[in-house]
Amino acid sequence: MKILLLADIHANWPALAAIREPFDACFCLGDLVEYGADAASCIDWVQQNATAAIRGNHDHALIEAVPTKPTAGGMKQLAWATRPLNRRQLNSRQLKFLARLPVTQTLVLGGKRFHLVHATPRDPLDEYLQDDPQGWNARLQGVEADFVCVGHTHIPLHLTFGDTQLINPGSVGQPRDGDPRAAYAVVEDGVVRFERVEYDIDAAVESIRNSGLDEKTAWYAEQTLRNGGRPTSVS
């Protein structure tokens, strides 16, 4: 049994399309939308290919029209700018799919129990926890699973707590670990493997620049893609 783990696609279709890993099942760990400019294609792929998918904070924000201050700057500005853009791209079927995504999901596959959550079991949508074994150990108390699969930080992570393995596959559409390549993970017969794949960043940038975003925001979006993380300043 080969399971593909994807997280934080963020409307980056060229990045998602570059992942050609064969799989028996696919889990999508949230944040299909915002930051990028092609939400529709990403949602269609997930709807057609994912065995299970859950809601991320940006999916929630788009569906619930969560307000963000346009003057916030940085990633909040990028989210504010792309939220209405992405929503206009989606038809009723795609919006319904996004709205029906559960916040968490637990399922058994290949004899293993998987618990899927975007952020943490304590705060499924928003808590930001990176490589903190003590913190993760506390948050996994009471969670009965062989694998706990998360996203949100955009940084790959693999920790083991007794019989439970925690996996963050990193971000497909917007990595933040200094490596701009699309990130994903594979669980095959209980063994975890992390992968990176190059994709056409120029195509992703062109899509953003042709979307109607203002120059400052488009420049910032481009830097996050090309640098594998957030730029230090905005010009």
Residue 208 lies in a domain: yes
Residue 216 lies in a domain: yes
What's the domain range around 196? 2-103+170-227
Residue 203 lies in a domain: yes
At which residue do the structure tokens 């975890």 appear?
192
pLDDT of residue 229: 87
Q: Over the stretch 122-131, which tens digit does the pLDDT of each residue have?
A: 999 999 999 9
Entry pTM: 0.95
Residue 43 lies in a domain: yes
Residue 162 lies in a domain: no
pLDDT of residue 4: 98
What are residue 183's DSSP bridge partners?
196
> Distance between CA 78 and CA 234 in Å, rounded?
12
CB-based contacts of 96, cutoff 8 Å, min separation 6: none
- Give me the DSSP letters along 40-107: HHHHHHHHHH-SEE---HHHHHHHHT----TTS-HHHHHHHHHHHHHHHH--HHHHHHHHT--SEEEE
- Residue 65: pLDDT band with limits 50, 70, 90: confident
Provide the CATH number for the domain around residue 34. 3.60.21.10
Q: How many independent structural domains does the chain possess? A: 1
| pLDDT exceeds 90 at position 159 | yes
Q: Over the stretch 174-223, which tens digit does the pLDDT of each residue have?
A: 999 999 999 999 999 999 999 999 999 999 999 999 999 999 999 999 99
Q: Over the stretch 69-105, which tens digit does the pLDDT of each residue have?
A: 666 678 989 999 999 999 999 999 999 999 999 999 9
> Distance between CA 66 and CA 56 in Å, rounded?
13
Degrees to nearest 5, angle at CA 166 with 184 and 19: 10
Q: Is-contact 39 18, C-beta < 8 A?
A: no
Residue 163 lies in a domain: no
Residue 11 lies in a domain: yes
Residue 115 lies in a domain: no
